[in-house]
């Protein structure tokens, strides 16, 4: 009996993983990579990179911020105590599935006022954040309150949040390839106090 249950649960988890992977395989084909390409110049030319996102979206953005630091960029996570003022010549990179999260839209407005660039990753091209941004990358995933099983069977913004990390990592991988530094150089920047 116990073994049958374990087998059933194993199959359940395996099926869930397949569902997620199938959603990603479909999503990566729908991404407009031409919209991501200009970000290579935007990021390499920025004096400081400011990273922002809320909730789970914010956790993915923080993971990307860490890699930008490993690559040697001057990067700040908006809201952290050591994050300075954004200025002209800097860029704000914001992730928001809905594109309506108040603090992020407010930060994008501030960035625009001082003359900094704004990049956003969102599912919603008509959102206030997308309309404010200089560069908008559409992640073709479900919005957090959209229950369209054809787009995603996962809860809320999960597909968006996972894809955001993958897209940011693809961008970071491309930046690393262009940079050409050996992994040992990046490794020196890893935190040695954790």
Ligand X SMILES: O=P(O)(O)OC[C@H]1O[C@](O)(CO)[C@@H](O)[C@@H]1O
**Is residue 96 a contact point for ligand X (CB under 6 A)?**
yes
User: Which of these segments, 21-29, 96-104, 130-138, 165-173, binds ligand X (CB under 6 A)?
Assistant: 96-104
Q: How far is CA 92 from the centre of its chain?
A: 12
**Residue 54 engages ligand X in binding (rule: CB under 6 A):** yes
- If one asks whether residue 92 binds ligand X (CB under 6 A), the answer comes out as no
Name which position in 26, 31, 42, 55 contacts ligand X (CB under 6 A).
55
149 beta partners = none
Residue 177 a catalytic site member: no
Of the listed 2, 34, 161, 194, which one is catalytic? Answer: 161
- In order, the DSSP letters of 148-166 are -TTT--SSTTHHHHHHHHH
Query: Rounded to an integer, what distance in angstroms lies between the CA atom of residue 137 and that of residue 31?
Result: 9
Residues 93, 52 contacting (CB under 8 angstroms)? yes
Helix (H, G, I), strand (E, B) or coil at 45: helix
Q: What torsion do the CA atoms of 145, 132, 117, 32 make, to the nearest 10 degrees?
A: 60
Cβ distance to ligand X smaller for residue 70 or 95: 95
* Closest separation in Å from C-beta 54 to ligand X: 4
Find the binding residues for ligand X in span 135-174 (CB under 6 A). 144, 156-157, 161
Does 105 participate in binding ligand X (rule CB under 6 A)?
no
Task: Name the residues annotated as catalytic.
Answer: 161
Binding site for ligand X (CB under 6 A): 54-57, 96-98, 101, 144, 156-157, 161
């Amino acid at each position: 009996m116990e073994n049958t249950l374990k087998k059933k649960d194993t199959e359940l988890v395996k099926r869930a993983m397949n569902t997620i992977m199938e959603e990603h395989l479909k999503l990566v084909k729908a991404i407009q990579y031409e919209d991501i390409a200009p970000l290579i110049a935007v990021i390499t030319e920025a004096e400081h990179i400011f990273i922002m996102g809320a909730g789970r979206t914010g956790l993915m953005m923080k993971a990307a911020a860490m890699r930008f630091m490993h690559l040697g960029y001057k990067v700040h996570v908006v809201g952290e105590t050591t994050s300075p003022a954004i200025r002209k010549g800097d860029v704000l990179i914001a992730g928001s599935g809905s594109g309506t999260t108040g603090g992020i839209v407010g930060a994008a407005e501030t960035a625009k006022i001082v003359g900094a660039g704004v990049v956003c990753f969102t599912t919603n091209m008509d959102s206030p954040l997308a309309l404010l941004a200089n560069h908008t990358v559409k992640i073709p995933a479900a919005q957090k309150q959209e229950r369209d099983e054809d787009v995603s069977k996962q809860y809320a913004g999960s597909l968006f949040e996972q894809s955001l990390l993958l897209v940011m990592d693809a961008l970071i991988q491309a930046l690393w390839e262009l940079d050409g530094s050996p992994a040992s150089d990046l490794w020196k920047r890893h935190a040695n106090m954790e």
